[in-house]
Structure 1
Amino acid sequence: MDFANKLQSYRKQRGMSQENLAEVIGVSRQAVSKWESGQSYPEMDKMISLSELFHVSLDHLVKDASSDTKAEHVASPVYVDLNSLFHYEYKSKRTCFGIPLVHIHIGRGLYVAKGVIAIGNVAIGAVSIGIVALGGLCLGALALGLISFAGLALGLLLAVGGIAAGTMAVGGIALGIFAVGGLAVGMFSLGGLSIASHIAMGGYASGHIAIGDTVKGAYTFITQDNNFNDIKGEEVRKLIQQEYPHLWKPIVQGIISIFK
Protein backbone atom coordinates (compact mmCIF):
# COMPACT_ATOMS: atom_id res chain seq x y z
CA MET A 1 0.00 0.00 0.00
CA ASP A 2 1.48 3.37 -1.02
CA PHE A 3 1.48 6.62 1.01
CA ALA A 4 -1.70 8.02 -0.59
CA ASN A 5 -3.74 4.93 0.24
CA LYS A 6 -2.29 4.67 3.75
CA LEU A 7 -3.13 8.30 4.47
CA GLN A 8 -6.70 7.88 3.29
CA SER A 9 -7.10 4.66 5.27
CA TYR A 10 -5.76 6.11 8.53
CA ARG A 11 -7.88 9.23 8.15
CA LYS A 12 -11.07 7.22 7.70
CA GLN A 13 -10.21 4.94 10.63
CA ARG A 14 -10.18 8.01 12.86
CA GLY A 15 -13.51 9.20 11.48
CA MET A 16 -11.97 12.39 10.10
CA SER A 17 -12.93 14.27 6.97
CA GLN A 18 -10.29 15.78 4.68
CA GLU A 19 -11.29 19.16 6.13
CA ASN A 20 -10.80 17.91 9.72
CA LEU A 21 -7.36 16.51 8.90
CA ALA A 22 -6.37 19.72 7.13
CA GLU A 23 -7.29 21.77 10.22
CA VAL A 24 -5.25 19.53 12.52
CA ILE A 25 -2.15 19.50 10.30
CA GLY A 26 -2.44 23.17 9.34
CA VAL A 27 -2.94 22.93 5.57
CA SER A 28 -5.79 23.40 3.12
CA ARG A 29 -8.30 20.67 2.31
CA GLN A 30 -7.07 20.77 -1.28
CA ALA A 31 -3.57 19.86 -0.07
CA VAL A 32 -4.92 16.78 1.73
CA SER A 33 -6.89 15.85 -1.38
CA LYS A 34 -3.71 16.01 -3.50
CA TRP A 35 -1.82 13.86 -1.01
CA GLU A 36 -4.52 11.19 -1.08
CA SER A 37 -4.71 11.22 -4.87
CA GLY A 38 -0.91 10.89 -5.20
CA GLN A 39 -0.52 14.28 -6.92
CA SER A 40 1.86 15.58 -4.25
CA TYR A 41 3.56 14.68 -0.99
CA PRO A 42 3.67 16.55 2.34
CA GLU A 43 6.73 18.47 3.40
CA MET A 44 8.83 16.82 6.10
CA ASP A 45 7.31 18.75 9.02
CA LYS A 46 3.80 17.83 7.85
CA MET A 47 4.86 14.21 7.37
CA ILE A 48 6.13 14.14 10.96
CA SER A 49 2.82 15.59 12.16
CA LEU A 50 0.95 12.87 10.26
CA SER A 51 3.07 10.10 11.74
CA GLU A 52 2.48 11.44 15.25
CA LEU A 53 -1.25 11.86 14.65
CA PHE A 54 -1.68 8.27 13.39
CA HIS A 55 0.92 6.76 15.79
CA VAL A 56 3.00 5.18 13.04
CA SER A 57 6.64 5.58 12.10
CA LEU A 58 7.76 7.80 9.21
CA ASP A 59 9.31 4.75 7.59
CA HIS A 60 6.02 2.86 7.70
CA LEU A 61 4.05 5.86 6.46
CA VAL A 62 6.14 6.63 3.37
CA LYS A 63 7.41 3.18 2.45
CA ASP A 64 5.52 1.24 -0.20
CA ALA A 65 4.64 -2.13 1.32
CA SER A 66 5.04 -3.83 -2.08
CA SER A 67 8.75 -3.02 -2.06
CA ASP A 68 9.43 -4.45 1.39
CA THR A 69 11.69 -7.52 1.47
CA LYS A 70 10.62 -10.63 3.30
CA ALA A 71 13.07 -9.85 6.09
CA GLU A 72 11.52 -6.45 6.60
CA HIS A 73 8.05 -7.84 7.11
CA VAL A 74 8.14 -7.55 10.88
CA ALA A 75 4.93 -6.97 12.72
CA SER A 76 4.69 -3.41 13.98
CA PRO A 77 2.93 -2.56 17.23
CA VAL A 78 -0.63 -1.43 16.80
CA TYR A 79 -1.65 1.76 18.54
CA VAL A 80 -5.30 2.38 19.23
CA ASP A 81 -6.40 5.89 20.09
CA LEU A 82 -9.52 5.28 22.19
CA ASN A 83 -10.54 8.91 21.98
CA SER A 84 -10.66 8.71 18.18
CA LEU A 85 -12.92 5.66 18.33
CA PHE A 86 -15.48 7.62 20.28
CA HIS A 87 -15.17 11.00 18.63
CA TYR A 88 -17.14 12.54 15.80
CA GLU A 89 -17.36 16.10 14.54
CA TYR A 90 -19.32 17.67 11.72
CA LYS A 91 -19.50 21.38 10.98
CA SER A 92 -21.66 22.61 8.14
CA LYS A 93 -20.16 24.98 5.62
CA ARG A 94 -23.31 27.09 5.69
CA THR A 95 -23.21 29.72 8.40
CA CYS A 96 -25.49 32.30 9.95
CA PHE A 97 -23.70 35.46 11.11
CA GLY A 98 -20.46 33.48 11.10
CA ILE A 99 -21.89 30.61 13.16
CA PRO A 100 -22.21 27.14 11.55
CA LEU A 101 -25.79 26.23 10.73
CA VAL A 102 -25.15 22.75 12.17
CA HIS A 103 -22.32 21.70 14.45
CA ILE A 104 -22.08 18.18 15.85
CA HIS A 105 -19.23 17.43 18.25
CA ILE A 106 -19.48 14.33 20.41
CA GLY A 107 -17.08 11.87 21.99
CA ARG A 108 -15.38 10.82 25.19
CA GLY A 109 -14.32 13.94 27.03
CA LEU A 110 -15.29 17.59 26.89
CA TYR A 111 -16.40 18.39 23.35
CA VAL A 112 -18.26 21.63 22.70
CA ALA A 113 -20.64 22.18 19.79
CA LYS A 114 -21.53 25.75 18.80
CA GLY A 115 -24.04 26.31 16.03
CA VAL A 116 -27.54 27.41 15.16
CA ILE A 117 -28.29 23.71 15.68
CA ALA A 118 -25.77 22.27 18.12
CA ILE A 119 -25.36 18.64 19.18
CA GLY A 120 -22.51 17.77 21.51
CA ASN A 121 -21.33 16.83 24.97
CA VAL A 122 -21.75 20.54 25.64
CA ALA A 123 -24.09 22.20 23.14
CA ILE A 124 -24.58 25.92 22.65
CA GLY A 125 -27.07 27.09 20.05
CA ALA A 126 -30.55 28.21 19.09
CA VAL A 127 -31.46 24.52 19.20
CA SER A 128 -29.15 22.59 21.54
CA ILE A 129 -28.98 18.87 22.31
CA GLY A 130 -26.33 17.62 24.70
CA ILE A 131 -25.38 16.40 28.13
CA VAL A 132 -25.18 20.11 28.93
CA ALA A 133 -27.34 22.26 26.64
CA LEU A 134 -27.40 26.04 26.54
CA GLY A 135 -29.41 28.29 24.24
CA GLY A 136 -32.92 28.73 22.91
CA LEU A 137 -34.60 25.31 22.75
CA CYS A 138 -32.52 22.95 24.88
CA LEU A 139 -32.63 19.19 25.47
CA GLY A 140 -30.15 17.44 27.73
CA ALA A 141 -29.26 16.08 31.13
CA LEU A 142 -28.71 19.70 32.21
CA ALA A 143 -30.38 22.40 30.14
CA LEU A 144 -30.46 26.17 30.44
CA GLY A 145 -32.37 28.18 27.87
CA LEU A 146 -35.57 29.89 26.89
CA ILE A 147 -37.31 26.50 26.66
CA SER A 148 -35.61 23.57 28.36
CA PHE A 149 -36.29 19.84 28.58
CA ALA A 150 -33.86 17.95 30.80
CA GLY A 151 -33.22 16.01 33.97
CA LEU A 152 -32.35 19.39 35.48
CA ALA A 153 -34.09 22.06 33.41
CA LEU A 154 -33.79 25.81 33.80
CA GLY A 155 -35.94 27.76 31.37
CA LEU A 156 -36.67 31.45 31.15
CA LEU A 157 -40.05 30.66 29.59
CA LEU A 158 -40.69 26.92 30.00
CA ALA A 159 -38.81 24.22 31.87
CA VAL A 160 -39.75 20.54 31.84
CA GLY A 161 -37.70 17.95 33.72
CA GLY A 162 -37.09 15.91 36.82
CA ILE A 163 -36.19 19.19 38.49
CA ALA A 164 -37.55 22.21 36.63
CA ALA A 165 -37.27 25.92 37.28
CA GLY A 166 -38.66 28.63 35.06
CA THR A 167 -41.48 31.04 34.41
CA MET A 168 -43.57 27.93 33.74
CA ALA A 169 -42.14 24.78 35.29
CA VAL A 170 -43.30 21.19 34.96
CA GLY A 171 -41.44 18.40 36.75
CA GLY A 172 -41.04 16.06 39.67
CA ILE A 173 -39.89 19.15 41.53
CA ALA A 174 -41.15 22.34 39.88
CA LEU A 175 -40.23 25.89 40.81
CA GLY A 176 -41.73 28.79 38.91
CA ILE A 177 -44.34 31.48 38.62
CA PHE A 178 -46.55 28.68 37.30
CA ALA A 179 -45.47 25.32 38.73
CA VAL A 180 -46.87 21.86 38.07
CA GLY A 181 -45.30 18.77 39.64
CA GLY A 182 -45.03 16.28 42.45
CA LEU A 183 -43.66 19.14 44.53
CA ALA A 184 -44.76 22.44 43.04
CA VAL A 185 -43.65 25.79 44.42
CA GLY A 186 -44.57 29.13 42.86
CA MET A 187 -47.01 31.98 42.68
CA PHE A 188 -49.55 29.56 41.17
CA SER A 189 -48.93 25.85 41.75
CA LEU A 190 -50.56 22.51 41.09
CA GLY A 191 -49.19 19.24 42.44
CA GLY A 192 -49.17 16.47 44.99
CA LEU A 193 -47.54 18.92 47.41
CA SER A 194 -48.42 22.42 46.29
CA ILE A 195 -47.06 25.59 47.86
CA ALA A 196 -47.90 29.00 46.43
CA SER A 197 -47.86 32.65 47.38
CA HIS A 198 -51.16 33.17 45.53
CA ILE A 199 -53.12 30.04 44.57
CA ALA A 200 -52.18 26.45 45.44
CA MET A 201 -54.02 23.34 44.26
CA GLY A 202 -53.17 19.73 45.05
CA GLY A 203 -53.25 16.83 47.47
CA TYR A 204 -51.72 19.11 50.07
CA ALA A 205 -52.11 22.79 49.20
CA SER A 206 -50.72 25.77 51.05
CA GLY A 207 -51.32 29.27 49.73
CA HIS A 208 -53.32 32.45 50.11
CA ILE A 209 -56.06 30.54 48.27
CA ALA A 210 -55.65 26.80 48.86
CA ILE A 211 -57.64 24.09 47.10
CA GLY A 212 -57.09 20.39 47.80
CA ASP A 213 -57.61 17.41 50.06
CA THR A 214 -55.53 18.98 52.84
CA VAL A 215 -55.40 22.75 52.75
CA LYS A 216 -53.80 25.65 54.56
CA GLY A 217 -54.47 29.28 53.66
CA ALA A 218 -56.47 32.43 54.17
CA TYR A 219 -59.20 31.00 51.89
CA THR A 220 -59.65 27.26 51.39
CA PHE A 221 -61.66 24.79 49.35
CA ILE A 222 -61.60 21.13 50.35
CA THR A 223 -61.84 18.33 47.77
CA GLN A 224 -62.17 14.58 48.09
CA ASP A 225 -59.47 12.46 46.44
CA ASN A 226 -58.28 15.44 44.39
CA ASN A 227 -61.64 15.62 42.62
CA PHE A 228 -61.73 19.27 41.62
CA ASN A 229 -65.21 18.79 40.16
CA ASP A 230 -66.44 19.02 43.75
CA ILE A 231 -65.62 22.73 43.59
CA LYS A 232 -67.77 25.22 41.73
CA GLY A 233 -65.69 27.24 39.32
CA GLU A 234 -67.81 30.36 39.73
CA GLU A 235 -67.09 30.48 43.46
CA VAL A 236 -63.36 30.25 42.77
CA ARG A 237 -63.63 32.95 40.10
CA LYS A 238 -65.33 35.39 42.49
CA LEU A 239 -62.71 34.77 45.15
CA ILE A 240 -59.83 35.30 42.73
CA GLN A 241 -61.39 38.53 41.44
CA GLN A 242 -61.86 39.67 45.03
CA GLU A 243 -58.30 38.93 46.12
CA TYR A 244 -56.47 39.58 42.82
CA PRO A 245 -58.63 42.03 40.85
CA HIS A 246 -55.82 42.89 38.44
CA LEU A 247 -54.80 39.32 37.65
CA TRP A 248 -54.47 38.68 33.90
CA LYS A 249 -57.77 37.22 32.63
CA PRO A 250 -56.21 34.28 30.69
CA ILE A 251 -54.60 33.12 33.96
CA VAL A 252 -57.95 33.32 35.76
CA GLN A 253 -59.66 31.45 32.95
CA GLY A 254 -56.96 28.77 32.94
CA ILE A 255 -57.44 28.15 36.65
CA ILE A 256 -61.24 28.14 36.43
CA SER A 257 -61.16 25.62 33.57
CA ILE A 258 -59.97 22.96 36.03
CA PHE A 259 -63.25 23.13 37.93
CA LYS A 260 -66.85 22.29 37.09
Structure 2
Amino acid sequence: MHMDFAEKLQNYRKQKGMSQENLAEAIGVSRQAVSKWESGQSYPETEKMIALCELFQVSMDHLVRGEPAEQREQLPLEPNWLAATRYRYHYEYKSKATWFGVPLLHINVGRGIYVAKGIVAIGNISIGVLSLGLIALGGLCLGVVAAGLISLAAIAIALILALGGFAAGFIAAGGAAVGVLASGGLAVGVYSIGGMAIASRIAIGGYASGHIAIGDAVSGAYSLTIPNGDFTGVQANQVRDLIHQEYPKMWNPLVEWMASIFRK
Protein backbone atom coordinates (compact mmCIF):
# COMPACT_ATOMS: atom_id res chain seq x y z
CA MET A 1 0.00 0.00 0.00
CA HIS A 2 1.33 3.44 -0.95
CA MET A 3 2.18 5.65 2.03
CA ASP A 4 2.14 9.42 1.86
CA PHE A 5 4.77 11.70 3.29
CA ALA A 6 3.00 12.14 6.64
CA GLU A 7 2.81 8.38 7.27
CA LYS A 8 6.40 7.76 6.24
CA LEU A 9 7.66 10.58 8.43
CA GLN A 10 5.85 9.15 11.43
CA ASN A 11 7.11 5.61 10.71
CA TYR A 12 10.74 6.68 10.28
CA ARG A 13 10.58 8.78 13.43
CA LYS A 14 9.32 5.82 15.44
CA GLN A 15 11.96 3.53 13.90
CA LYS A 16 14.56 5.96 15.21
CA GLY A 17 12.98 5.82 18.64
CA MET A 18 12.37 9.56 18.60
CA SER A 19 9.42 11.48 19.97
CA GLN A 20 8.00 14.48 18.13
CA GLU A 21 9.93 16.68 20.56
CA ASN A 22 13.18 14.83 19.78
CA LEU A 23 12.68 15.20 16.04
CA ALA A 24 11.76 18.86 16.39
CA GLU A 25 14.92 19.52 18.37
CA ALA A 26 17.06 17.61 15.87
CA ILE A 27 15.77 19.56 12.88
CA GLY A 28 15.48 22.91 14.62
CA VAL A 29 11.70 23.45 14.54
CA SER A 30 8.85 23.42 17.04
CA ARG A 31 7.04 20.25 18.11
CA GLN A 32 3.86 21.77 16.65
CA ALA A 33 5.54 21.92 13.22
CA VAL A 34 6.36 18.19 13.36
CA SER A 35 2.81 17.45 14.47
CA LYS A 36 1.42 19.34 11.47
CA TRP A 37 3.77 17.47 9.11
CA GLU A 38 2.63 14.11 10.46
CA SER A 39 -1.04 15.06 10.27
CA GLY A 40 -0.68 16.28 6.69
CA GLN A 41 -1.56 19.89 7.54
CA SER A 42 1.71 21.26 6.17
CA TYR A 43 5.03 20.26 4.61
CA PRO A 44 8.61 21.10 5.61
CA GLU A 45 10.64 23.73 3.84
CA THR A 46 13.29 22.42 1.43
CA GLU A 47 16.06 22.93 4.00
CA LYS A 48 14.16 20.94 6.63
CA MET A 49 13.24 18.24 4.11
CA ILE A 50 16.93 17.74 3.27
CA ALA A 51 17.71 17.48 6.98
CA LEU A 52 14.99 14.82 7.38
CA CYS A 53 16.39 12.79 4.47
CA GLU A 54 19.88 12.93 6.00
CA LEU A 55 18.56 11.96 9.41
CA PHE A 56 16.54 8.97 8.14
CA GLN A 57 19.09 8.01 5.45
CA VAL A 58 16.55 8.01 2.60
CA SER A 59 16.27 9.92 -0.68
CA MET A 60 13.96 12.87 -1.10
CA ASP A 61 12.24 11.11 -4.00
CA HIS A 62 11.31 8.28 -1.66
CA LEU A 63 10.26 10.49 1.24
CA VAL A 64 8.19 12.92 -0.85
CA ARG A 65 7.16 11.17 -4.06
CA GLY A 66 6.73 7.64 -2.84
CA GLU A 67 9.45 5.99 -4.93
CA PRO A 68 10.98 2.78 -3.47
CA ALA A 69 13.58 3.34 -0.80
CA GLU A 70 17.15 2.77 -1.87
CA GLN A 71 19.04 0.06 -0.06
CA ARG A 72 21.52 1.82 2.17
CA GLU A 73 23.86 0.63 4.83
CA GLN A 74 21.96 0.64 8.08
CA LEU A 75 23.61 3.14 10.39
CA PRO A 76 23.50 2.73 14.16
CA LEU A 77 20.93 4.87 15.89
CA GLU A 78 22.35 8.05 17.30
CA PRO A 79 21.44 9.34 20.73
CA ASN A 80 18.83 12.06 20.43
CA TRP A 81 21.17 14.75 21.73
CA LEU A 82 23.76 13.82 19.08
CA ALA A 83 21.20 13.86 16.29
CA ALA A 84 20.06 17.25 17.49
CA THR A 85 23.59 18.59 17.36
CA ARG A 86 24.31 17.11 13.94
CA TYR A 87 21.17 18.14 12.08
CA ARG A 88 20.16 21.34 13.76
CA TYR A 89 20.06 24.30 11.40
CA HIS A 90 18.38 26.67 13.79
CA TYR A 91 17.79 26.86 17.53
CA GLU A 92 15.65 29.37 19.37
CA TYR A 93 14.74 29.71 23.01
CA LYS A 94 12.77 32.57 24.55
CA SER A 95 12.18 32.64 28.27
CA LYS A 96 8.62 33.06 29.50
CA ALA A 97 9.84 35.46 32.17
CA THR A 98 9.92 39.03 30.88
CA TRP A 99 10.82 42.49 32.06
CA PHE A 100 8.59 45.24 30.65
CA GLY A 101 7.57 42.84 27.92
CA VAL A 102 11.14 41.91 26.95
CA PRO A 103 12.27 38.28 27.50
CA LEU A 104 14.90 37.88 30.21
CA LEU A 105 16.72 35.45 27.88
CA HIS A 106 16.43 35.07 24.14
CA ILE A 107 18.68 32.68 22.19
CA ASN A 108 18.32 32.64 18.42
CA VAL A 109 21.17 31.05 16.48
CA GLY A 110 21.61 29.03 13.31
CA ARG A 111 22.65 29.11 9.70
CA GLY A 112 21.40 32.37 8.31
CA ILE A 113 20.30 35.64 9.84
CA TYR A 114 18.66 35.22 13.23
CA VAL A 115 18.04 38.10 15.62
CA ALA A 116 17.87 37.70 19.40
CA LYS A 117 16.23 40.43 21.48
CA GLY A 118 16.19 40.15 25.27
CA ILE A 119 17.68 41.39 28.51
CA VAL A 120 20.28 38.71 27.79
CA ALA A 121 20.47 38.12 24.04
CA ILE A 122 22.50 35.44 22.27
CA GLY A 123 22.19 35.24 18.51
CA ASN A 124 23.74 35.76 15.13
CA ILE A 125 22.57 39.32 15.66
CA SER A 126 21.86 40.15 19.29
CA ILE A 127 20.22 43.16 20.91
CA GLY A 128 20.06 43.35 24.68
CA VAL A 129 21.42 44.63 27.96
CA LEU A 130 23.92 41.77 27.71
CA SER A 131 24.47 40.80 24.07
CA LEU A 132 26.57 37.99 22.61
CA GLY A 133 26.66 37.48 18.86
CA LEU A 134 28.42 37.93 15.57
CA ILE A 135 26.86 41.39 15.63
CA ALA A 136 26.04 42.58 19.15
CA LEU A 137 24.15 45.73 20.09
CA GLY A 138 23.12 47.00 23.51
CA GLY A 139 24.62 47.52 26.94
CA LEU A 140 27.48 45.08 27.51
CA CYS A 141 28.28 43.62 24.08
CA LEU A 142 30.59 40.79 23.06
CA GLY A 143 30.95 39.78 19.43
CA VAL A 144 32.81 40.07 16.18
CA VAL A 145 31.22 43.49 15.67
CA ALA A 146 29.84 45.17 18.78
CA ALA A 147 28.26 48.52 19.52
CA GLY A 148 26.97 49.51 22.94
CA LEU A 149 27.83 51.13 26.25
CA ILE A 150 30.69 48.65 26.80
CA SER A 151 31.91 46.61 23.84
CA LEU A 152 34.45 43.82 23.45
CA ALA A 153 34.90 42.67 19.86
CA ALA A 154 37.13 42.53 16.83
CA ILE A 155 35.44 45.80 15.88
CA ALA A 156 34.18 47.52 19.02
CA ILE A 157 32.25 50.78 19.23
CA ALA A 158 31.09 52.02 22.61
CA LEU A 159 29.89 55.09 24.46
CA ILE A 160 31.96 54.22 27.54
CA LEU A 161 34.56 51.45 27.01
CA ALA A 162 35.61 49.76 23.78
CA LEU A 163 38.12 46.91 23.62
CA GLY A 164 39.05 45.22 20.36
CA GLY A 165 41.17 44.97 17.25
CA PHE A 166 39.63 48.29 16.28
CA ALA A 167 38.10 50.19 19.17
CA ALA A 168 36.24 53.47 19.25
CA GLY A 169 34.75 54.90 22.42
CA PHE A 170 35.16 57.34 25.28
CA ILE A 171 37.82 54.93 26.56
CA ALA A 172 39.27 52.81 23.74
CA ALA A 173 41.96 50.16 23.79
CA GLY A 174 42.99 47.96 20.89
CA GLY A 175 45.23 47.43 17.90
CA ALA A 176 43.84 50.70 16.59
CA ALA A 177 42.03 52.86 19.14
CA VAL A 178 40.09 56.09 18.76
CA GLY A 179 38.64 57.85 21.79
CA VAL A 180 38.92 60.54 24.39
CA LEU A 181 41.31 58.16 26.20
CA ALA A 182 42.98 55.93 23.62
CA SER A 183 45.54 53.18 24.10
CA GLY A 184 46.85 50.85 21.39
CA GLY A 185 49.30 50.16 18.61
CA LEU A 186 47.81 53.20 16.91
CA ALA A 187 46.07 55.50 19.37
CA VAL A 188 44.21 58.64 18.36
CA GLY A 189 42.40 60.76 20.92
CA VAL A 190 42.46 63.66 23.30
CA TYR A 191 44.83 61.66 25.51
CA SER A 192 46.70 58.85 23.74
CA ILE A 193 49.18 56.16 24.71
CA GLY A 194 50.58 53.68 22.18
CA GLY A 195 53.18 52.64 19.67
CA MET A 196 52.03 55.59 17.60
CA ALA A 197 50.12 58.11 19.71
CA ILE A 198 48.37 61.11 18.23
CA ALA A 199 46.48 63.41 20.58
CA SER A 200 45.04 66.87 20.75
CA ARG A 201 46.39 67.27 24.29
CA ILE A 202 48.77 64.58 25.59
CA ALA A 203 50.46 61.86 23.56
CA ILE A 204 52.78 59.19 25.00
CA GLY A 205 54.39 56.53 22.81
CA GLY A 206 57.14 55.38 20.50
CA TYR A 207 56.05 58.16 18.18
CA ALA A 208 54.06 60.85 19.96
CA SER A 209 52.34 63.86 18.48
CA GLY A 210 50.32 66.23 20.64
CA HIS A 211 50.34 69.51 22.52
CA ILE A 212 52.37 67.58 25.11
CA ALA A 213 54.36 64.80 23.43
CA ILE A 214 56.41 62.24 25.35
CA GLY A 215 58.21 59.49 23.45
CA ASP A 216 61.11 58.26 21.38
CA ALA A 217 60.17 60.48 18.44
CA VAL A 218 58.10 63.50 19.42
CA SER A 219 56.22 66.35 17.83
CA GLY A 220 54.52 68.91 20.04
CA ALA A 221 54.54 72.32 21.64
CA TYR A 222 55.98 70.75 24.80
CA SER A 223 57.95 67.51 24.53
CA LEU A 224 60.03 65.06 26.49
CA THR A 225 62.26 62.75 24.48
CA ILE A 226 62.75 59.19 25.66
CA PRO A 227 65.88 57.76 24.00
CA ASN A 228 65.47 54.15 22.81
CA GLY A 229 62.00 53.98 24.31
CA ASP A 230 63.36 53.68 27.86
CA PHE A 231 60.54 55.20 29.90
CA THR A 232 62.58 54.85 33.11
CA GLY A 233 64.71 57.69 31.82
CA VAL A 234 61.92 60.16 32.61
CA GLN A 235 60.68 60.80 36.13
CA ALA A 236 56.99 60.83 36.99
CA ASN A 237 57.34 64.24 38.65
CA GLN A 238 58.58 65.73 35.38
CA VAL A 239 55.46 64.51 33.65
CA ARG A 240 53.16 65.74 36.44
CA ASP A 241 54.75 69.19 36.42
CA LEU A 242 54.46 69.51 32.67
CA ILE A 243 50.79 68.43 32.67
CA HIS A 244 49.88 70.73 35.59
CA GLN A 245 51.66 73.60 33.82
CA GLU A 246 49.57 73.22 30.65
CA TYR A 247 46.36 71.78 32.10
CA PRO A 248 46.06 72.94 35.74
CA LYS A 249 42.41 71.85 35.97
CA MET A 250 42.94 68.38 34.54
CA TRP A 251 41.33 65.56 36.54
CA ASN A 252 44.00 64.40 38.98
CA PRO A 253 43.41 60.59 38.67
CA LEU A 254 44.04 60.94 34.94
CA VAL A 255 47.25 62.86 35.63
CA GLU A 256 48.39 60.14 38.03
CA TRP A 257 47.51 57.39 35.53
CA MET A 258 49.71 58.98 32.88
CA ALA A 259 52.51 59.71 35.33
CA SER A 260 52.46 56.11 36.63
CA ILE A 261 54.03 54.92 33.37
CA PHE A 262 57.27 56.66 34.32
CA ARG A 263 59.90 56.24 37.04
CA LYS A 264 58.91 57.55 40.47
TM-score (structure 1 length as normaliser): 0.76
Pick closer, same or farther for the CA change 1:2–1:181 going to 2, 3 Å: closer
Matched, 1:104 2:114: no
Matched, 1:235 2:238: yes
Aligned residue for 2:69? 75
Shift of 1:240: 1.0
Aligned residue for 1:135? 138
Pick closer, same or farther for the CA change 1:241–1:48 going to 2, 3 Å: same
Q: Tell me, what secondary structure is at the counterpart of 1:240?
A: helix
Alpha-carbon distance between aligned partners in 2 of 1:85 and 1:43, rounded to the nearest angstrom: 17
Q: Tell me, what secondary structure is at the counterpart of 1:48?
A: coil
Alpha-carbon distance between aligned partners in 1 of 2:24 and 2:261, rounded to the nearest angstrom: 61
Q: Which amino acid aligns with 1:74?
A: P
Q: Tell me, what secondary structure is at the counterpart of 2:41?
A: helix
Count residues with an aligned counterpart: 220
1:163-208 Cα offsets, whole Å, 9 max, x none, are 1000010011000000000100001001111100000000000000
Alpha-carbon distance between aligned partners in 2 of 1:180 and 1:119, rounded to the nearest angstrom: 29
Choose from 161, 180, 183 the match for 1:180. Answer: 183
Aligned residue for 2:27? 14
Alpha-carbon distance between aligned partners in 1 of 2:186 and 2:210, rounded to the nearest angstrom: 14
Aligned residue for 1:217? 220
1:124-178 Cα offsets, whole Å, 9 max, x none, are 0111111100011111110001110111100111001111000010011000000
Matched, 1:163 2:163: no
1:63-122 Cα offsets, whole Å, 9 max, x none, are xxxxxxxxx99328xxxxxxx732111111221211111111111111001111111100
Pick closer, same or farther for the CA change 1:208–1:11 going to 2, 3 Å: same
Q: Tell me, what secondary structure is at the counterpart of 1:239?
A: helix
Q: Which amino acid aligns with 2:27?
A: R
Shift of 1:43: 11
Aligned residue for 2:207? 204
Alpha-carbon distance between aligned partners in 2 of 1:121 and 1:43, rounded to the nearest angstrom: 28
Report if aligned partners of 2:97, 2:103 keep a CA contact under 8 Å in 1: yes
Alpha-carbon distance between aligned partners in 2 of 1:139 and 1:170, rounded to the nearest angstrom: 15
Aligned residue for 1:60? none
Q: Tell me, what secondary structure is at the counterpart of 2:256?
A: helix
Q: Which runs of 5+ in 2 are unaligned?
A: 1-7, 51-65, 71-86
Aligned residue for 1:88? 91
Alpha-carbon distance between aligned partners in 1 of 2:107 and 2:184, rounded to the nearest angstrom: 33
Matched, 1:249 2:242: no
TM-score (structure 2 length as normaliser): 0.75
Alpha-carbon distance between aligned partners in 2 of 1:186 and 1:236, rounded to the nearest angstrom: 19
Q: Which amino acid aligns with 1:11?
A: A
Alpha carbon RMSD of aligned pairs, Å? 2.9
Structure 1's consecutive aligned runs of 4 or more residues displaced over 4 angstroms after TM superposition are 1-7, 53-56
Identity %, equivalent residues: 51
After TM superposition, the structure 1 stretch with the greater mean CA deviation from structure 2, 86-95 or 126-135, is 86-95
Alpha-carbon distance between aligned partners in 2 of 1:126 and 1:196, rounded to the nearest angstrom: 32
Shift of 1:55: 4.3
After TM superposition, the structure 1 stretch with the greater mean CA deviation from structure 2, 7-16 or 168-177, is 7-16
Q: Which amino acid aligns with 2:232?
A: N
